[in-house]
Amino acid sequence: MTAPGALAPQLRRTPLRRVAGLDRLALAGGVLLALIVLAALLAPWIAPYPDDGGSATHALDALLPPSGAHWFGTDQVGRDVLSRVLFGARTSLFIAVAVLAVSGVVGVALGVVAGYAGGWLQDVIMRVTDVFLAFPALLLSLALAVVLQPSVTTVIVAIAATWWPWYARLTASVAASVATRGFVDSARCLGVPAPLIVLRHVLPNSLTPVLVQLSLDGGGVILTAAALSYLGLGAHEPTPEWGLMVQQGQTLFTTDWWAVTFPGLAIVLTAFAFNVLGEGLRARLAR
Amino acid sequence: MRWHKRLLAAGVVAAVTFSAAACAGGKVRGAEGTPQPGASQGATGGTADTTFVYVPNLDVVTDWDPASSYSNEIIAMENIYESLTRYNPQTKKAEPRLATAWTTSPDGKTWTFTLRPGVKFHTGKPLDAAAAKAAIERTMKIGEGAAYIWGAVDKIQAKDPTTLVFRLKYPSPIDLIASAGYASYIYDTTAASGDLKKWFGEGHDAGSGPYTVDTWQKGRETELTLKSFDGYWGGWNGPHYTKIDFRVTPELATAWQLLQRGEVSFVQRLNPQLFAQAGATDTVRTSQTPSFQNLLALFNTQSGPLKDVRLRQAVQKAIDYDGLVAALKGAGVAASGLVPDGLLGYTPGRTGRQDLPGAEALLKEAGYGPGGKPLNLTLTYAQGDSDQEVLITLLSAALDKLNVKLTAKPLQWTTQWDQGKAKDPAKRQDIFVMYWYPDYADAYSWFVNVFRSAEPVSFNLSYLKDSGIDKEIDRLPALTATDQAAAEKAYADLQTQIIDDRAAVAVPYVQNYQRAYAASVQGYVDNPAYPNVVFVYDLKPGA
């Protein structure tokens, strides 16, 4: 939890300026993540076989082992695994950003209202949050994904639905403490309308822990999305998606290890990068 | 047939492992393949000295009634029940089983079978001509599953305890029909004091085969175990397996690990990569046999977007048939029409070819395709079947180029089938992928079960309703018995109608059976007329 000292009065003084003070591991995580983002953005230009990231197939080249022509080998229908891992980064990062944006906006908005308003409004919002938190997250996502048609959008909705309560709860607790501080009281005494107080004063000062939590959660979202795709409830062919690639390659592990190993490593590395970066941010901002 | 196909699909999906590990004490041993005590001695009693472990990937039993059973349980039923004859794929003839000899009248309408004397049912009652007559008549009366195979039979007579006579409405190869994998079982119709069907459903059997039901627990990994029947007419002298376990294992990789560790005897199917690895493993043997089993992609001709025949033809043309066979690496061969090579009705020159420009033109005509309306199709297939997955991957990619989005759902067989049979057409899929194989060595089953109209829906999952086609199908059995050339032509014409004109189906490939089993299992021969069945009594547990 953020120490009181970290709750600086103005947002512009908060998180970004402090990134410079990150420890080495977090920095490495940041660099790794930057590389992954770069790879995702540049996939059409750096992938050795850009068509393989889409709907091309080359069945005659099925399951070729890693070589100079295919660094990561080929999959069951002859597609270049490296190209699909690169394009898969786009899918995974898109899902992560979309889920965090949706659940972040919903969670923070509800949380800050609950924290500032208190009383029955807080009770209602927090009880709803508790109901969502009472479900095991993956189970709820699974249930939603089964009901909806499997697709990337479904994955985003299903994960966001289980993710926002955390931000709501976190924001509510911080906002509640911010709401009792002197500068908020002053604003209220000066007659500033409540919505403006929330937007101008409470929200900016409640964001720091949420931002840290968001960066920590990026890895979790990617893992959950991979799990849903792995279970056949997420992205489907021919969308390149790491979880789906792992699912399709798993029975080949003992004979054609590359089809499952490289997308698996991509998931691990990305989740790792998010986690160490988030952890570093948390430590830095807590100082 | 229907159950069979599903069973096949399941078997395909899951590597069925027969674990041949002999287990002292009747349990499957997680062993390294050393001979089990008692493995080399003939089991003479009901004690379980040697256990054969078969690993299917889908549930084994869906219907215990030998009259209506028509699915995956064939792998157990053929070891519990016997028919009058058994098909030999080498000689392509029926051979003695419960009948030791038979003759036919010159007009082919009277068949006289001599039954094996002294055979007893597991219930203790004698299996004589009267009992056989009662069993076949009950199967015909219930009329479910593959009971249609007896369609030519007018009446059955038990002349004396060992003489059974069939009088037919039209000439028909009763010796071959009696060898069918379904609906041909001879069972004790007097086994239950009450409702026989209910009694069967509780997991009882009334067969005459070498094994009888020991335990059955639906939903358990080891779903079913069989034990030897002491009074079996073949006797138990010499080495035999005395127990059979059916251990349901959906993942191929897991099945392969079990086989490698010596925990199971027989894996029904592996993927091509694991099969190659099995071939190079000392403790494991492999067998590859061309099958009568092909994959069908059935298009919904009654509801949804594929109601438009142009769209069905477009999907047919989008399938990369050559690529699929290449990617299957030996697990499948190109199909030419609906009937696999080796059966009457096989029509050469019908092998599918991918034609994306042709598909695009058809889609455009219907207002879809690149630049047109987006088209969304749903497909259901067998969960865990890596061969079907290759088809889905190739087809999704090809359709994606044509602005068609394919949503493929891997499902358990029961779920997939129930959805296909849904009363509400809106709940049905656009494309249903399943395996099919014949009930006896004849092509009729593809037509009568899959493409003849039927209400309620059973296996006619393209929902085709065409009285002209129905009429043609109904002529097939008599034609086959009387005029083979005319039958060949009728089969070819029907395939033109069903595949080309109505575009109700695509046939992506014919399967090769690729089995892997423990090196200690001796005497295994694959019989494609009984898909996925291992006749365990014929095997010897080796050291």
pLDDT tens readout for residues B90-142:
887 899 999 999 999 988 899 999 999 999 999 999 999 999 999 999 999 99
Q: What are residue B288's DSSP bridge partners?
A: B514
Residue B318 near residue B394 (C-beta atoms within 8 A): no
* Location of each CATH 3.90.76.10 domain in chain B: 82-194
Q: What is the pLDDT of residue B49?
A: 56
Q: How far apart are CA B186 and CA B139, in angstroms?
A: 9
* Location of each CATH 3.40.190.10 domain in chain B: 1-79+209-283+519-543
Choice among A211-220, B329-338, B489-498 with the minimum mean pLDDT = A211-220
Mean pLDDT of B191-218: 94
Query: B403: which chain A residues are within 8 Å (Cβ-Cβ)?
Result: none
A56 touches chain B (CB under 8 A): yes
**Which residue in B has a C-alpha nearest to residue A239's C-alpha?**
B397
How far does A251 lie from chain B, in Å, by closest CA? 5
- Please indicate whether, in this complex, the C-beta atoms of A238 and B397 are within 8 angstroms of each other: yes
**What single-letter amino acid sits at B475?**
R
Using CB atoms, pick whichever of A55, A56, A149 lies closest to residue B407. Answer: A149
What is the four-CA torsion angle of A207, A213, A215, A220, rounded to 10 degrees? -150
Going through B161-207 in order, the beta strands assigned E by DSSP cover 163-168
How far does B396 lie from chain A, in Å, by closest CA? 6
pLDDT in tens, B14-41: 333 333 322 222 222 222 233 333 333 3
* Location of each CATH 3.10.105.10 domain in chain B: 290-511
A71 touches chain B (CB under 8 A): no
Q: Over the range B45-75, which residues count as b (16 or more CB within 10 Å of their CB) and which as e? A: eeebbbbbbbbbbbbbbbbbbbbbbbbbbbb
Using CB atoms, pick whichever of A237, A253, A254 lies closest to residue B393. Answer: A237
- Please indicate whether, in this complex, the C-beta atoms of A76 and B386 are within 8 angstroms of each other: yes
Mean pLDDT of B209-220: 93
Q: Over the range B288-327, which residues count as b (16 or more CB within 10 Å of their CB) and which as e? A: eebbbbbbbbbbbbeebbbebbbbbbbbbbbbbbebbbbb
Query: B318: which chain A residues are within 8 Å (Cβ-Cβ)?
Result: none
Using CB atoms, pick whichever of B271, B329, B397 lies closest to residue A251. Answer: B271
Indicate whether B380 pLDDT > 60.
Answer: yes
CB-based burial label for B192 (10 Å; 0-12, 13-18, 19+):
middle
Selected from 3.20.20.140, 3.30.1370.140, 3.90.76.10, 3.40.1190.20, the CATH number assigned to the domain covering B82-194 reads 3.90.76.10
Q: What are residue B7's DSSP bridge partners?
A: none
A122 touches chain B (CB under 8 A): no
3-state secondary structure of B109: coil
Indicate whether B163 pLDDT > 60.
Answer: yes
Interface of B with A (CB under 8 A): 251-253, 256, 271, 273-274, 276-277, 320, 322-324, 326-327, 329, 386, 389-390, 392-394, 396-398, 400-401, 406-410
Top residue of A57, A61, A239, A246 to mutate, by most chain B CBs within 10 Å, is A57
Closest by alpha carbon to A99, among A250, A279, A226, A251? A226
Residue B395 near residue B406 (C-beta atoms within 8 A): yes
Query: A254: which chain B residues are within 8 Å (Cβ-Cβ)?
Result: 253, 256, 274, 277
Q: Which CATH superfamily is B290-511 part of?
A: Dipeptide-binding Protein; Domain 3 (3.10.105.10)
A55 touches chain B (CB under 8 A): yes
Indicate whether B184 pLDDT > 80.
Answer: yes
How far does A152 lie from chain B, in Å, by closest CA? 12
Q: How far apart are the first and last CA of chain A?
A: 11
Q: What is the CATH number of domain A23-50+74-286?
A: 1.10.3720.10
Q: How far apart are CA B464 and CA B466, in angstroms?
A: 6
Q: What is the pLDDT of residue B48?
A: 38
Query: DSSP assignment, residue A198?
Result: I
How far does A183 lie from chain B, in Å, by closest CA? 55
Q: How far apart are CA B350 and CA B367, in angstroms?
A: 29
Top residue of A49, A55, A60, A76 to mutate, by most chain B CBs within 10 Å, is A76
3-state secondary structure of B309: helix
pLDDT higher for B226 or A114?
B226
Q: What is the pLDDT of residue A262?
A: 95
Q: How far apart are CA A62 and CA A77, in angstroms?
A: 5
CA distances from B16 to A96, B19, B521, B534 (A): 39, 9, 15, 11
- Token output for B401: 């180029």
Residue that is written with structure tokens 């923070």 in the block: A108
Q: What is the complex's ipTM, to 2 decimals? A: 0.73
- Please indicate whether, in this complex, the C-beta atoms of B327 and A150 are within 8 angstroms of each other: no
A151 touches chain B (CB under 8 A): yes
User: What does the mean pLDDT of chain B come to?
Assistant: 87
- Please indicate whether, in this complex, the C-beta atoms of A236 and B327 are within 8 angstroms of each other: no
- Please indicate whether, in this complex, the C-beta atoms of A60 and B323 are within 8 angstroms of each other: yes
Indicate whether B46 pLDDT > 70.
Answer: no
Query: B393: which chain A residues are within 8 Å (Cβ-Cβ)?
Result: 57, 76-77, 237-238, 248
Indicate whether A5 pLDDT > 50.
Answer: no
Residue B154 near residue B167 (C-beta atoms within 8 A): yes
Query: A58: which chain B residues are within 8 Å (Cβ-Cβ)?
Result: 323
| Interstrand relation of B85-88 and B284-299 (parallel, antiparallel or unpaired) | unpaired
Q: How far apart are CA A154 and CA A171, in angstroms?
A: 26
CB-based burial label for A16 (10 Å; 0-12, 13-18, 19+):
exposed
Q: Where are the domains of chain A?
A: 23-50+74-286
CATH topology for the B1-79+209-283+519-543 domain = D-Maltodextrin-Binding Protein; domain 2 (3.40.190)
- Please indicate whether, in this complex, the C-beta atoms of B397 and A237 are within 8 angstroms of each other: yes
Query: B253: which chain A residues are within 8 Å (Cβ-Cβ)?
Result: 250-251, 253-254
Q: What is the pLDDT of residue A21?
A: 66
| pTM (predicted TM-score) | 0.76
CB-based burial label for A94 (10 Å; 0-12, 13-18, 19+):
middle
Top residue of B256, B393, B427 to mutate, by most chain A CBs within 10 Å, is B393
Query: A56: which chain B residues are within 8 Å (Cβ-Cβ)?
Result: 397
pLDDT in tens, A60-90: 888 889 999 999 999 988 999 999 999 999 9
